[in-house]
Structure 1
Amino acid sequence: MQKPKRTSLPSDKLPPWLKFRIWAGKVIHRGRNVGGGRGQVFRLPFRRIAKLDCHPNELEAMEFVRKHTTIPIPRIYEIYGYDGGQHLVMQEARGGHVKVHYGGMTPGQVKTFGLDLAGCLNQLRSLQPPAAGFVGSLSLGSSLDHRLSGTRFGPFHSVADFHTYLRRGRPLQHWENEPDVVRVHSTPDEYRVTFCHADLNPNNIMVKHGRITAIIDWEFAGWYPEYWDYTKMYWGERPLWANFYRAVEEEPAIIKYPAERAAELAIWKRMHPWSYDDPPWSPGEEQQAGQKQPDQG
């Protein structure tokens, strides 16, 4: 396969030829040309996609997975690098409309999709981390996951440290009313670290007639506890994804983590994702917050 063309930019400003192609895509795909959670994905002519302002981790993860697995990933044609980020031009994957391609699945297609997804997950789980217990990015640096706000976090050198971060530093004694959290976080050494996509849902798994055509959006990917891909599937759960969850739960080759999912649900109830932007918990925080303010009268 031909290597992608690499261009170095002095800033994140788009080169004129890429701006023109984005404009042309808007004309050709009027009303159907913009996507992505931050509106930074554009359809171009000739079945190309431009994804702007990507963290280098996304390309690194895609290249790593392409090299070590057979998971279908869009081909990268052009890389425009600038300090701290990249604009990527890649192949447009077939499929994609959630209501059509997931909502319209037949029972047989649900089964086929489950088998395809199991194969992808098992390949990711077979990849070996750089060190036992390491939680972080491929480059051994920080990670990003909107489950944990919009800022980068880590890396961590043990699952126990990662669990402490999930609790925002609070000791397990503070979670005695959440037995699922206590049960899971009391045994961090039981969990292997595996390579995870960390955002597997119908928006990022392109399907057509029940077959996976591509897995996209690898910016969150990295080394996480083995249950992370499964529990993250339920982050932002919605009824439109019913066939996706049916395929996951009915496919025996997909390892389920119900206790870990319950623990995550308990944490999600108590901790807004953007609370991770605040300083971590420290002893006496609750007492200080509960102190009566002095009378201003």
Structure 2
Amino acid sequence: MDITQCHRTWLSTYYVKLRIFVGRILYDQPRYKGTRYGSRVVQIGPKSLLKRTSIVEAKTMALVSRLTSLPIPHLRHVWVDHNVQQDGRQMCWVVMEYMPGRTWDQAWPDLSSKERDKIQGQMRNYINQLREIRPDGLPDGYVGPVGNHHCWDYKLDTSQAYGPFPSLQSFYDHLLSTAKKLNESIASRIHSDLLNAALSHSPSSQSIFTHSDLVPRNILIHNGEISAILDWEQSGWWPYWWEHSKSLYALGPLTEEDRKLWSSFVAETIPLYNLELDLDIGIYEIVGPQL
């Protein structure tokens, strides 16, 4: 499917509204109640979901499906309204495959040790596959999403468009800009330490393809294995340490026990860079939860 050629017409607008109306009557929508997706993800058939999202997510899912073996929903239809943008992003409706399973936090306590080991191995393999995806035609160290679009990440300011960035250094300039206004000396030291840490990595590995929202609600488990990885709208090439940091951010309403279990899972599956993680924490001690 050439997503860029899919335009939303008046006919598809009414079709989308009708599918939402009927879907909410026929299906209970239990997976999305009480989450930030509840207003824009609707089950519309036994094997189909309708989601309001950005065109970047649709392009990302198509790319990841083509280049990896990750279990992600198959895209069936995409409607784009080229006159509608949100937070600087081109929005669309997508019909995608409904994937079976329970979210990680629902399923993990019931799994055997053997099943847990298998799932941890699967996740390590999937992370490694993602890290092999390179931004064709873009410079080494590029930070941004598929298609050279603007960046969008819940950890950063989502009220306006920014980026993409041609290098890790230019991204760090943006990342530290607010902190430097609040505490010049500490922010400058963090900036310098981040750049020095990056020198131990080759330019091509300073930014790597990252899901950027690998949290329990976005991992489905079915029959003792990962059945789906969901929600790709924040994905792209981010700093090599970003995946681990983001996997511990905005976890949602988890119990304290679930948070401990999740932290252990992350430690076993996602590469950890202790220095960079400490520096990242230092940034948020200056600026608060959102840049």
On whether the aligned pair clears a TM of 0.5, the verdict is yes
Closer, same or farther: CA 249–98 of 1 in aligned 2, 3 Å: closer
| C-alpha distance in 2 between matches for 1:34 and 1:247 | 23
Are the counterparts in 2 of residues 47 and 91 from structure 1 also a CA contact under 8 Å? yes
| C-alpha distance in 2 between matches for 1:171 and 1:189 | 22
Per the alignment, residue 141 of structure 2 pairs with 133
Q: Name the larger-Rg structure.
A: 1
121, 125, 128: which one pairs with 1:119? 125
1:65-87 residue CA offsets vs partner (Å, 9 max, x unmatched): 11111111101111111113210
Are the counterparts in 1 of residues 47 and 98 from structure 2 also a CA contact under 8 Å? yes
Question: TM-score, normalization: structure 2?
Answer: 0.81
Report deviation, 1:91. 0.8
| C-alpha distance in 1 between matches for 2:98 and 2:147 | 27
Per the alignment, residue 166 of structure 1 pairs with 175
Closer, same or farther: CA 41–243 of 1 in aligned 2, 3 Å: same
204, 207, 231: which one pairs with 1:193? 207
Aligned partner of residue 95 in structure 2, secondary structure: strand
230, 242, 249: which one pairs with 2:260? 242
Q: Which moved more, 1:13-22 or 1:149-158?
A: 13-22
1:93-130 residue CA offsets vs partner (Å, 9 max, x unmatched): 11134442134333333222211110111001111233
- The one-letter amino acid paired with 2:44 is L
Report deviation, 1:7. 5.1
Question: TM-score, normalization: structure 1?
Answer: 0.79
Report deviation, 1:177. 8.2
| C-alpha distance in 1 between matches for 2:197 and 2:274 | 15
Are the counterparts in 2 of residues 196 and 221 from structure 1 also a CA contact under 8 Å? yes
| C-alpha distance in 1 between matches for 2:241 and 2:211 | 12
Report matched runs for 1:216-295 at 5 Å.
Answer: 216-237=230-251, 238=254, 239=256, 240-251=258-269, 254-274=270-290, 276=291
Aligned partner of residue 30 in structure 2, secondary structure: coil
Report deviation, 1:154. 0.8
Aligned partner of residue 216 in structure 2, secondary structure: coil
Closer, same or farther: CA 99–128 of 1 in aligned 2, 3 Å: closer
Closer, same or farther: CA 68–98 of 1 in aligned 2, 3 Å: closer
| C-alpha distance in 1 between matches for 2:116 and 2:188 | 34
Gaps of 5+ in 1: 277-297
| C-alpha distance in 2 between matches for 1:10 and 1:132 | 39
Closer, same or farther: CA 135–43 of 1 in aligned 2, 3 Å: same
Report deviation, 1:180. 6.3
- The one-letter amino acid paired with 1:89 is V
Report deviation, 1:248. 2.6
**How many residues are paired up?**
269
- The one-letter amino acid paired with 1:88 is V
Cα-Cα RMSD: 2.9
